[in-house]
Amino acid sequence: MDQEPLTYAEIGATGGVLPTGYHHVRERAVVGAARADFESAVSTVMTWGMHRGAGLTVKAAGDAARTGEDASFGFGPISVPVRVVYVVDEPNRAGFAYGTRCGHPECGEESFIVHFDESGNQVRLEITAFSKPGTWWVRVGAPIGRLVQAWVTRRYIRAVKDSAR
């Protein structure tokens, strides 16, 4: 069975140069200071714990993010359907990105990558996104939507920090 297409063309762009014509988000935060913190942060990100910790409900095919799998988040009455478009699994860098599916209030992609700097014993979470309104009501409420996005991003970071303690 073929999957429905994503709602944007620049699939995978959070891993490189962000496309023009979208609102961009790049947030970086130190979330730990040791290999154990890195492992905890990666587990929290990959198993949707970051999303749950931010107050979202999660419906996903599996326990962890896997390329090509669909998921959906609940935020009050809003359903946010996504598809994992890539996974990063390296010794000092891990995470994933998802893209928007039909029914998502926005169009675009968001990545969540955890980095471990061995030389400085620092664990960082990098959240990168590009998005634009996917519905008329998001277009009209764009300033509010950006505030909500910033609020949720801060909650993601807090959830990952809490997991590494």
Q: What is the Cα–Cα distance from 44 to 120, expressed in whole angstroms?
A: 22
pLDDT digits over 6-42, tens only? Answer: 999 999 999 999 999 999 999 999 999 999 999 999 9
Q: Return all residues near 91 (Cβ < 8 A) that are at least 6 apart.
A: none
pLDDT digits over 39-51, tens only? Answer: 999 999 999 999 9
Burial of 129 (0-12, 13-18, 19+ CB in 10 A): buried
pTM of structure: 0.92
Matching CATH number, 23-163, of 3.40.50.150, 3.80.10.10, 3.30.530.20, 3.40.50.10860? 3.30.530.20
Burial of 43 (0-12, 13-18, 19+ CB in 10 A): middle
